[in-house]
Structure 1
Amino acid sequence: MEIILRQENKNDFESVFHLIEKAFEKEEYSDHKEQFLVERLRKSDAFIPELSIVAEIDNKIVGHILFTKLEIKSESQIFQSLALAPVSVLPEFQGKGIGSKLILHGHEIAKGLGYKSVILLGHQDYYPRFGYELCEKYNIKMPFDVPAENCMVIALVEDGLKGISGEVVYPSAFFE
């Protein structure tokens, strides 16, 4: 099973919409609207085309990941970072390493673009295997009330989180 990872293009939008819808259909902790979030983010200033990535098997899109710009704001500084949201894999392809490949590939692209960190809200048992740590370790706070164990961050480069703390500022597209 050869998995091809590539940048999403306009011809993929409809397939990706349905993929995300299917991927989150049975998720307990989901509002089941992630596909609409991706559409809004694509039209926002936070969108980075190189960081909207699809996974293909036999010319069929089976996975997608999106990283968008966000900020971490302290009293005296604003730090640029990325949000990972969402990562989606068709249910029949889950558990085959596609999500892992998308995450690791996305990290490499993001690092190449000069980004130093990624923040996410996600499952506490899944993301630590990629090096994600609790945001509270770095005194990084979410702008809304969520369980601390689901708020995670990773440094993409050595010292990528050195001296960084504050509140996460998500792009407005996350809340529309």
Structure 2
Amino acid sequence: MIIRQEIKTDYREVENLVRESFWNIYRPGCYEHYIIHNMRYAKSFIKQLDYLIEEDNHIIAHIVYANGKIHSNNESKTLPILGPVSVHPKYQKQGYGSKIINYTLKKAEEMGYPGIIVVGDEKYYSRFGFEKAFKYNIHYEGMDRNDEAPFFMIKVFDKNKINDYQGIFSNPESYTVDIELLNEFDKAFPPKIKEKIEGQLE
């Protein structure tokens, strides 16, 4: 197993991996591979935290981070958000996701970030030290400030510095998906059937 940074020649293989990982999970089809594609060319992209795992010369896991913004008192500061993180279906539930998350969180702390935001399953991410961002007076854009939003979490590296980051968090611009452009982008990949499955978010 090798953990290394993504390079340009990995791009299409990684996009295929991401597509396989998320297909029909949260919605019919997926758009995470399109987010990854756009993220690499965005100013918010944190290239130093763009990592993958190789096993037997195949890319089986991938993770990215990008800078979101926290708005407060007519000013804004950047704070990284984790994800998407992807593991090929054949390698899921074998610890690869935990390995790449822990590895890059350590890198992020070494880079001096006060904390990392994530939106996801609180039961899963709490094992990495993530807790409700509400606790630090950081709120998700579009949510009521009184809503604790357990899916909106933060991993704090420096509790003193994080006090300066109170406010409303907004996602990086690359998280926004134009469905028509997504459908056009998806034509470059092998055909897959979109299915509506119980439990999907959309």
TM-score by length of 2: 0.79
Q: How many residues align?
A: 174
Q: Look up the match of 1:21.
A: 19
Q: Look up the match of 2:35.
A: 37
Gaps of 5+ in 1: none
Counterpart mapping for 1:22-171 below 5 A: 22-28=20-26, 32-75=30-73, 77-145=75-143, 148-171=149-172
- Equivalents in 1 of 2:168, 2:28: separation in Å? 23
Any idea what SS the aligned residue of 1:149 has? coil
Question: Identity over the aligned pairs, expressed in percent?
Answer: 30
The amino acid across from 1:108 in the alignment is K
Q: Encode CA deviations 1:24-80: one digit per residue, 9 max, x unaligned.
A: 114136871000001111010011211110011111100000011122121154333
After the TM superposition, which segments of 4 or more aligned residues of structure 1 sit over 6 Å from their partners?
none
Of the structure 1 ranges 49-58 and 29-38, higher mean CA displacement relative to structure 2 is found in: 29-38
- Equivalents in 2 of 1:156, 1:175: separation in Å? 28
- Equivalents in 1 of 2:148, 2:25: separation in Å? 17
Any idea what SS the aligned residue of 1:162 has? helix
The change in CA–CA distance for 1:73 and 1:9 in structure 2 (over 3 A counts) is same
- Equivalents in 2 of 1:34, 1:58: separation in Å? 25
Contact 1:24 1:30 in 2 (8 A): no
Bigger relative contact order, structure 1 or 2 (CA pairs below 8 A, ≥6 apart): 2
- Equivalents in 1 of 2:69, 2:28: separation in Å? 24
Q: Encode CA deviations 1:88-124: one digit per residue, 9 max, x unaligned.
A: 0001101111111111111122122221211111012
The amino acid across from 1:173 in the alignment is S
- Equivalents in 2 of 1:40, 1:63: separation in Å? 19
The change in CA–CA distance for 1:119 and 1:41 in structure 2 (over 3 A counts) is same
Structure 2 residue 9 is the aligned partner of structure 1 residue 8 = no
The change in CA–CA distance for 1:63 and 1:124 in structure 2 (over 3 A counts) is same
TM-score by length of 1: 0.90
Greater fraction of residues in strand: 1
Any idea what SS the aligned residue of 1:55 has? strand
Contact 1:48 1:68 in 2 (8 A): yes
The amino acid across from 1:167 in the alignment is I
Of the structure 1 ranges 85-94 and 25-34, higher mean CA displacement relative to structure 2 is found in: 25-34
